[in-house]
Chain A
C-alpha cells in the first residue's frame, strides 16, 4: 500500500500538519519580529530594506529602556500588582469555587450567572466611576488602586474555572475526610486543594496574564511614574515627537518573558485544567 510506504519526513507532510505550521508561523512571525528588532541598533530598527536578522546585534535598546526610561521600576510595579492580585484571586476564588461547586447552599445558580455577567462587563464602563471612587477614598496613585479592582474583575472567571475543577473530584474524597474526622477546612486544605492544582494553576495563569497586560485601569488609576505598570510605562515611552521603537520592542520582550515562562512551566496543567470541567462535568 502506498500510504504505508511513506517514511521519514514525508509522512509528516500532510494537510493537517501543514495547517498547523501555517498557523504557528502566522502567530510566531510578529513575535520573531519583536525579538529581532529589539536587538537591532536603534537606527536599524526602521531600516529600508528591512533587516531580517539583527546585524550587528546590539543591546542599546535594552540599555535605553532600563537606564534611560527607568523600565525596571515599571517592571517591579507590575510584579507587585500582578502577584498580589493573582494570590488574592486564587485564595478567595478557590474557596468561593469550592463552596459553589461542592457545599450545599441556596442560590448557587443565580450567583454563578451573576459572576459570569460580571466577567464579561466592559471595562470601559466601570473605569470612570472607579476613578471617582478611588479619588474619594484617596487611593489614586497606590498599589491597592490596581490590586483591588484587578482582584475583583478577575475573580469571576477564576471562580468558574476552579468550580468546574472541584466538580470533577469525587464526592467520596470529602466523605472519607468526614469519616476520618477532618474539619471542612482541613479537608479542603489537605485533600481537595492538592488534587485541584491543575485548576488552580490554570486560573492563576489566566489571572496573571490579565493583570500583567491590563492597560486602561492602570493608565487611569496609577498614572504617576512611581506606580506605573509595564503596559502604561511602555505606552508613555518617548516624547510627543519621538517614538523610540527599539526601546519599546526591548521593553516588550522583557514584559513577555514572565508570561512565556509561566505558560511553559504550567502548560500541562493548563491544558488539563481547561478540559477537565468539560469531560467530567
Chain B
C-alpha cells in the first residue's frame, strides 16, 4: 500500500502536443481517486504516465516514498486495467489471471491458490477454465480486475474499465469495483469521462480539461462549490442551466432575461464578493433540481415564468425542458452523456415532482431556490464566492 503523488507533471508528445500541463495531485493510501473530464482532456495520458507506459516530460511522480519517473512499469508495483481489458484470447481465465505470477516464477500450486482466491472475490470460480471469448462483457471485465488484484499491487490504475458495458451492468459494476477496492484498501486512480460514474465512485474527483486540473475535491464539494462554470456544468446530471444575468440594487436583485429574482441575504453571506458585481453582468447557474413548480404561497421574487417545450416522465421525477427569453451561456466540451435521457432541446431543464401536471406547450411558473444559485464571472468563468 502506498500513496501516489504527482508534482507539476507535464507531458509533451513527440509531435509537440502538450497533453498535460503542470498537474499536481495526491492520492492517499486506500483512496479512490477519479479523474474525470471530456474526451481528449488527457486522462489516459496521466494514467499512462503513472503506469510508466509514457515518459514524463517534466515533474515528479512518486509512488510511496520513491520517485519513479525513470522506473520501469514492472518495478512500480502497480496494476492497470485497460479500457479494452487486453485479455489474452489464447489463455484461459485462470492463465490470464495467473500470468503475472507465472512471470514471477511462483510455484504452480501457489499460483493456483492465489488465482482461486481472486476468482472467489470476483465470482469467477466456475469460469476459470473458459477462454475470454466465451465470457460475457461483465465477466471479461472481472477477469481484467482479477488480473490486477492477484498481483497485490500497491496501486491500482483503471482506464474507463466500465465503458464497454451496457448501462445496467455498468451501474452494478461501479459498486462492485468500489467494494473490491475497499476490501483491498489500495490507492486507486480511476479514469472516466462519465461524471455520474465519477460522482458515485470517487472518494475524491479530479476534473480535468485540456490537460489541466481544474478542481480536485469530494463529489459533494464539487457539486456545491465548483471553481468555475465548466466544473459547475460538467458535474451534475442533467447539467446546470447557465444564463446571462445582471445584478443590481446592491446585488439584491438579479435580472435574467426580462424577469427579476430577489436574492435573499443568505446568498450574500455565503458569497460576499457577489456584492461587487452589482450593476454588472454575471453568469447565473441554475441546477435543474433547484427549480420546482410554484404554488400560490411562493414568494413573488423567486418565480420564473417559462414555457415547457418537452416533458419527459421518468416515473420518480419529471424532466421539464423549457424556454424563456434569457440568453443561454454555452460551454464547449460538455455534451450530453449517453446515459442521460436529455437532448437539451429547450433553453433549460428542470427536474420536478411528478405529481405536477404539465405538458409541452404549457406556460408554467417555477419557484427558484435562490440560495442554491451559482454565479460565475462572465469573463473568466470563475465562480463568485
Contacts and interface: CB of A to CB of B under 8 A. Distances in A.
Interface stretch (A2-10, A76-84, A95-103, A180-188): A180-188
A178 B74 contact: yes
B100 A175 contact: no
B341 to A, nearest CB: 33
Contacts of A172: 82, 84, 86
B124 interface: no
B324 interface: no
B250 interface: no
B127 interface: no
Given A170-B84, A195-B89, A176 B147 contact: yes
B254 interface: no
A191 B88 contact: yes
A190 to B, nearest CB: 8
Contacts of B100: 180-181
B99 interface: yes
A175 B79 CA distance: 11
A178 B186 CA distance: 21
A157 B90 CA distance: 26
A179 interface: yes
Interface residues of A, number: 15
Contacts of A175: 51, 53, 73, 80, 82, 86
Interface in B90-108: 90, 99-100, 103-104
A170 B80 CA distance: 15
A281 interface: no
A179 B74 contact: yes
Contacts of B90: 194-195
A170 B144 CA distance: 15
Interface residues of B, number: 21
A173 interface: yes
B129 to A, nearest CB: 17
A181 B99 CA distance: 10
B56 interface: no
Contact of A195 (B51, B88, B151): B88
B84 A180 contact: no
Given A173-B86, A191-B88, A179 B51 contact: yes
Given A179-B79, A180-B100, A173 B88 contact: yes
B103 A182 contact: yes
Interface string B34-73: 0000000000000000011100000000000000000011
Contact of A181 (B51, B84, B103): B103
Interface in A185-210: 186, 190-191, 194-195
A183 to B, nearest CB: 9
Interface of A: 170, 172-173, 175-176, 178-182, 186, 190-191, 194-195
What 9 pairs between A and B have smallest CB-CB spacing? Answer: A181-B74, A172-B86, A180-B100, A194-B90, A172-B82, A179-B73, A176-B86, A181-B103, A178-B73
Interface of B: 51-53, 72-74, 78-80, 82, 84, 86, 88-90, 99-100, 103-104, 147, 151
Given A179-B73, A181-B103, 20 more contacts: A172-B82, A172-B86, A173-B88, A175-B51, A175-B53, A175-B73, A176-B80, A178-B52, A178-B53, A179-B78, A179-B79, A179-B80, A180-B99, A180-B151, A181-B74, A181-B100, A182-B103, A190-B99, A194-B88, A195-B89
